[in-house]
Each structure stands twice: as structure tokens, then as C-alpha cells.
Amino acid sequence: MVTSPVRLGRESGELGLNQKPQDLEQPSLNLNLHGLSPLEIPESVPLFGTDGIRGRVGEVLTASLALHVGYWAGRVFAARSGKGAIVVGQDSRNSSEMLAAALTAGLTAAGLEVWNVGLCPTPCVAYLVEATGAIGGAMISASHNPPGDNGLKFFGPDGHKLAKEAQQQIESALRHHVLPGLEPVTGCGRGYFRPELVRGYAVSLEQTLEQEGWGDRPLAGLKVVLDTAWGASAKVAPAVFEELGATVILLHGEPDGDRINVNCGSTHLESLKAAVVEHQADLGFAFDGDADRVLAVDGQGRVVDGDYILYFWGQTLRSSDKLPEATIVSTVMANLGFERAWQKQGGNLIRTAVGDQYVQKAMLDRGYMLGGEQSGHILCRHYAVSGDGTLVALHLAALVKQSGRSLTSWVDDSFQKYPQLLENVRVEDRARRLGWQDCAPVTEAIAQAETQMGDAGRILVRASGTEPVIRVMVEAAEADLVRHWADRLAAVVRSHLS
């Protein structure tokens, strides 16, 4: 599905994907981690959430934890795939280099080779794992979270997020320092600094448009605003858009660990909306900190979220017979307006639990090609092995350009979203947060709301897998009804769980 470039760039003399720059070789440590105490984490509290391990740096995410995780992840990777290379990337957070060093020490202590590519989007790691034949990958990022957080997420040899079973093996070994059936580690691995590999990922993005027959500069004539959130896409996204012919206006366009995601990016669209209107741009895109998701803004400054992107891309793929069973996979958060409009066209929408891993699993299990989340995490298996904000932005921009229509007109001719309100209630106690369904006042309030709303709306309450919050979502045809029940349910959650 993914087109792997023969070489990394268009200039001569660049390194191939499997060449090792010996002059960039870095020393690594072979540590006996059996002398360290198992991590003191309650068995009832899972370390891996919906998107890897994530938390506050210095509290949850420490160098010691990254060292342990690297070692035991390395043992699990080696047991499953044999010895080989692990691709490691990072976002711009101040803590990312520290965690990368510790993770690399653990991986090399497990006898594996590490290719550290430095600053890059999360989907770059997924792509490079699949394209180079590495046995796995790791990304150091907390996605859309604030600068003080960070995280570790892993990819299997197919470029997909590491299977649940493998995550559980790593977590069990972390807790008990035992992984049955493994041979002792003999010798240490080595670490290499491989930033030039990122260029191969950039070229692959361009090739996905070229394979559609749209020429070398399919975005020529488009004026596009990009908000890279001071994060991982700051170098790649504007360069690729410009190479494909777009005029780029860049916001928050340098890697900055102090400001990543702060009042910018896909969770704060105000500056993007203002810039699109001010510069009379055709459209704009905002990425999150690790650029695996994206939201768009049309020429009038209106938000075009993942539901709209799936709808537009789904129409295009269906018209070219590339959408099996006219089916899109999304989550329980997908808007009812989107679902009913897609069904009216004869399409099918399958809903999963929130999280791109659940969307991807449903797609792989059933052979579907397009899926994603309202938050802008979109997966199209025709072009990539993972969700990729830059890829999605390029294709949406190209669809607009090639159609000869504005994104504004696409939105006007699509569907009306049902009013939907999401309230986040902060619950610091993780056990209470994850066990919220055991709280009778909360479940009784939800049941009462569902009874009174009937078919006129729906309610979704869930614990976030990435932040210390419980999310309360209410959706209905009438905005007043949405506000009433969202406020009431959030108050009950706050009263009994905060």
C-alpha cells in the first residue's frame, strides 16, 4: 500500500534507507537492568493507555522509566522478530532528548540497534519502520498535550501501533523483571543518529500525490496557511507543501519545547482561522504536536473537522471505486449529521471505541480503506500505514485544487452537523477516573438523560486515555437540550468523582 522511495531525496549522494553513516555512530550502554528494582506501579493502574505511555515528565515519565521500558520493549521486539533495528523519533518537547537517550540506552542494552532520526512526525516513524524493514519503532511525544507532558508509543514491524498483547508483555516485564522463555542478552546493540531518513518520509508523501497523476506541482496556485504548533511537523509540512507548488503562510513554525501546543495547533484554532481570513487564503491546516492528526479551516474561517474530511475523501474514493462497500470507519464521537448524510448517499458508517487503534483494527479486520476520528486522526490505507496529518492535509488540498471548487463550497454542499458539546471534567485520581462506571450517581444521571432525550440525541461519557479527565459529550438536534444535559452531567461527575 505504501510507496517506498528508492532513495531518500532528489539530490545525488544522499544515503539510502539501509545505509549506516558510520561517522554518526554514537556510543551506547549495555546495562544489567536485573539489578534494578521493579517499578512500583499498582497492578490496578495500567501503564499503557490508548496511545502508549503518557504523563507528566518527572512524575510519570522519567529517565528511569524510559530506560526500563526501552530494555523490556527491546527484549519483546527481539523475541517476536529477532534482532534488528528500532527507529526512534521525537517531537520538540524539552524532555524528548532526555527520554530518547534513556530509551536508546535500554534498547541497546537489550542487544538491539537504534536509528535515532531526531525531530519528526509520529507517522514518519511508522513509515520508516515499514519501508526499511526495521523490527519496530518508538516515538517520544505526548501528541496534543501541554509541554510538561510526554509519552512513549511503539510500532510493530508492519508500521502499525504495537499490538495489545506485546504492550502487555512489556508492562508485565516492567513490573516484575521477568519475561519467561527468553535467552540471555549477549552483547550490546549500537545507536546511530539518522536524521537523513526523514527526507525519505517527505518524498513518500509527495509520491502519494504523484501516483494519482496530478503532476509534479499539484498544489500550484493554492494559498495555504499551516499551523505546525511549534511541534514535530515544523520542518516537514511547509517544505512538502511548497515543493508541490503551494504558497505557504506559516504559523508557529519553529520547533519550540516551551510552546508546543500552547494556544495553537489542532486544539486551538483561533489564530489559524484569523490568518486564513486575513491573508485571503484558500484554506488552512492545523496539526497537533506530533502531526498524526490535522484539522482544516475553509476560506471563511469555518472549522472542517475529521467528520467533514472523511465525508469529502470518502466521496472521492467511492467515485473511483476505492472504497469497499462504501464504508467509512469512525468512532462513537462521529456526528449524527455526518452519519445520516453519508447513509443518505448509500454509504455505511461503522463506529468503534474512541482511539485510532480501534479504528485501524476494524479497518484491517474487515478490509476497509478509510477511517478516522472527528479530532482529525484520519487513516487511508491506500497511502499510509498510520494516521498522518501532513498526508491528509496534502490530499484534501489537492482534492480542492483538482476539483476547481473552493473548500467553502464543499462544506456548503455537504451536511449540517448536529449541535455537539464536549465537557472535560478533571479527575486526578486515576483509579476513580478509570472506574467511573462504578459510581452510581453518575450512571443514574446518564440513564435519566438518555431516557428523557430518547431518539432526539445521544450521550457519551468516557475516561480519557491520554489526559486526566472524564469527557462528557452530548449531541442532539436542539442546542438548548445539548447545553442542559452537558452541564448537568458534568456537574454530577465533578461532584462525585473530582
Residue 44 has what pLDDT? 63
H/E/C letters for each residue in the chain? CCCCCCCCCCCCCCCCCCCCCHHHEECCCCCCHHHCCCCCCCCCCCCCEECEEEEEECCCECHHHHHHHHHHHHHHHHHHHCCCEEEEEECCCCCHHHHHHHHHHHHHHCCCEEEEEEECCHHHHHHHHHHHCCCEEEEECCCCCCCCEEEEEEECCCCCECCHHHHHHHHHHHHHCCCCCCCCCCCCCCEEECCCHHHHHHHHHHHHHHCCCCCCCCCCCCEEEEECCCCCCCCHHHHHHHHCCCEEEEECCCCCCCCCCCCCHHHCCHHHHHHHHHCCCCEEEEECCCCCCEEEEECCCCEECHHHHHHHHHHHHHHCCCCHHHEEEEECCCCHHHHHHHHHCCCEEEEECCCHHHHHHHHHHHCCCEEECCCCCEEECCCCCCCCHHHHHHHHHHHHHHHCCCHHHHHHCCCCCCCEEEEEEECCCHHHHHCHHHCHHHHHHHHHHHHHHHHHEEEEEEECCCCCEEEEEEEECCHHHHHHHHHHHHHHHHHHHC
Convert the pLDDT of each residue in 197-221 to its tens digit.
999 999 999 999 988 888 889 999 9
Q: Write out the chain's pLDDT in tens, 498 residues.
A: 333 322 223 232 333 444 443 333 333 333 444 444 456 666 666 788 878 999 999 988 999 999 999 999 999 999 999 989 999 999 999 999 999 999 999 999 999 999 999 999 999 999 999 999 999 999 999 999 999 999 999 999 999 999 999 999 999 988 888 787 777 787 899 999 999 999 999 999 999 998 888 888 999 999 999 999 999 999 999 999 999 999 999 999 999 999 999 999 999 999 999 999 999 999 999 999 999 999 999 999 999 999 999 999 999 999 999 999 999 999 998 998 999 999 999 999 999 998 888 999 999 999 999 999 999 999 999 999 999 999 999 999 999 999 999 999 999 999 999 998 999 999 998 889 999 999 999 999 999 998 988 877 889 999 987 789 999 999 988 888 899 999 999 999 999 998
CA angle 167, 92, 139 (to 5 degrees): 20
Residue 28 has what pLDDT? 33
Residue 26 has what pLDDT? 34
Q: Cell digits for 88?
A: 526512534
**pTM for the full model?**
0.85
Residue 30 has what pLDDT? 36
Residue 74 has what pLDDT? 96
Convert the pLDDT of each residue in 418-427 to its tens digit.
998 999 999 9
Residue 478 has what pLDDT? 86
Residue 1 has what pLDDT? 39
Question: Mind telling me the catalytic residues?
Answer: 143
